[in-house]
Amino acid sequence: MKKFQAQPGFQVQAFRLALDPNAFQEAALRSHCGAERAAYNWAVGWVTASWWQRKAEESYGVPADALTGWRPWSLPSLRKAFNEAKHTDPRFAGWWEENSKEAYSTGLANAAAAFDNYAKSKQGKRRGKRMGAPRFKSKRKARLACRFTTGTIRVDGDGRHVTLPRLGTIRTHEPTADLHARIQAGTARVLSATVRHERGRWLVSFQAEVKQHIRRVTRPGVAVGIDLGVKTLAVMADSTGENRTVANPGHYDAARKQLRRASRTVSRRQGPDRRTGRKPSKRWGKANDIRNRVHHRVANLREDALHKLTTAVAAEYGTIVVEELNVAGMLRNRRLARRIADAGFGEIRRQLAYKTRQRHATRLVAADRWYPSSKTCSGCGAVKAKLPLHVRTYECDACNLVIDRDDNAALNLAALAAACTTGTGVAGDQDTAPAASKPRGADRRTRATTRSRNATGGRAGGATLPHQRQQETRDRTQAEALTLW
């Protein structure tokens, strides 16, 4: 898909609205999303057909210069080939004209992006987990989504309807007055619209170019450290010494009893069986809808709670320090995976990233994944060699400080950026602190406590004092751990 670059003084922002289509419009929405999936599957089959053909020819001993040529997967090439094939291909004959061209263009663009990601991943040019070759989308599992970039894309003036290409005017569940007022004032321009079926509802997301409006934070000169956890969602400590605790709502745990009952009802109905081709009964469908509504409600409550938390934090502090957590690795812990997934650690950081950058132009500091925030004493800077997860109280061996483990970690995170905090909460002061490099292959082992080092290998005479060595260790650890996002 084409990425829009905002003009100077503008930024790209999404406005998501819930739709209220009638039966005819919902059928048209499903048809467009099905056309996107059909175009995607056609592109995957068209490109990979040349791969299998070359492999078969190689098995017969055909020389390399005589093999079938590779079919390109760039978006212009796929569009050209699809426009030639849609008139003769039996998979599209008789119905492809019922949908907007944007539906097929969305599927082709997604296929081109999938092949690009696969090629870059295979060549080592793409970060993250290794990606496999694109596969066909299942009609039963594929997400329903379609994007419109051309045609009539309009937010109607009555504040309750939107107009999309070929779909016409559709009523919305919520008012559109905010976006319409910005468009009329000339401070917003709609670039594209994406419809999708998510959590039992049809949603439309307008990607608009909006004039920047930086909001000044409440305390621009204060840095806050946020330590995320399972029992307590967030422990926040700022540079002024003020602590705050946010309890974990635990929406999924609260709904587990209701989910057990709903799932038990579903299991007693006649469900689908792909092995025998048995179709689900109507009672199974009704029971499954009830169970899905419970899941949707939990997801909506979680999203609402996280948005309220991140919005309040981003609007108050000039500098926010969070940890770079390995959430994917943490989910492998079978004892804590459910609670970690329910807390939404990755979503908290994602929301803080765009809210601090776009709304307030403040600083978000990400502590290195190996920074020992929990093992470091917030009073003297001594670092413990080991601190098991079940130990919830930090006891310093050097200064005899006794403090809650999460409070200690939050204070260390706040101190990580307090020394270099000069922002005032306006756009011109962001990214003022230098970013320390993270060299690969560095020793990630936690340093031993200063007291134990003095007992084993301390120098006499002109050696530095213990508190000086502790301060040097603390400064060195902070310099290695501090990275700006």
Output the pLDDT for position 351: 94
Output the pLDDT for position 65: 87
Output the pLDDT for position 475: 53
Chain Cα centroid distance, residue 148? 23
φ, ψ for residue 398, nearest 5 deg: -95, -50
Q: pLDDT of 281-328, one tens digit each?
A: 999 999 999 999 999 999 999 999 999 999 999 999 999 999 888 888
Q: pLDDT of 405-440, one tens digit each?
A: 888 888 888 888 765 444 433 333 344 333 333 433
Output the pLDDT for position 470: 53
Distance CA 109, CA 383 (A): 51
Name every residue whose Cβ is closer than 8 Å to that of residue 430 and which is 6 or more positions away in sequence: 357, 361, 362, 363, 423
**Which one of the listed residues 102, 368, 406, 407 is annotated catalytic?**
406
Task: Identify which of 361, 359, 364, 384 has the alpha carbon closest to the alpha carbon of residue 374.
Answer: 384
- Is position 156 annotated as part of the catalytic site? no
- Is position 323 annotated as part of the catalytic site? yes
Percent of the chain beyond pLDDT 90? 53
Task: Identify which of 383, 371, 360, 378 has the alpha carbon closest to the alpha carbon of residue 322.
Answer: 371
What's the pTM value of the predicted model, to 2 decimals?
0.78
- Is position 227 annotated as part of the catalytic site? yes
Percent of the chain beyond pLDDT 70? 84
φ, ψ for residue 322, nearest 5 deg: -125, 165
**Which one of the listed residues 323, 342, 368, 407 is annotated catalytic?**
323
Instruction: Report the chain (485 residues): mean pLDDT per 10 consecutive residues.
Output: 59 92 95 95 95 91 88 94 90 87 95 94 88 92 93 92 94 92 91 94 94 88 90 89 89 95 96 91 95 95 95 92 89 91 92 91 88 87 86 87 88 76 38 37 44 41 48 50 38
Distance CA 89, CA 84 (A): 9
Output the pLDDT for position 212: 82
Output the pLDDT for position 258: 96
**Which one of the listed residues 102, 227, 238, 342 is annotated catalytic?**
227
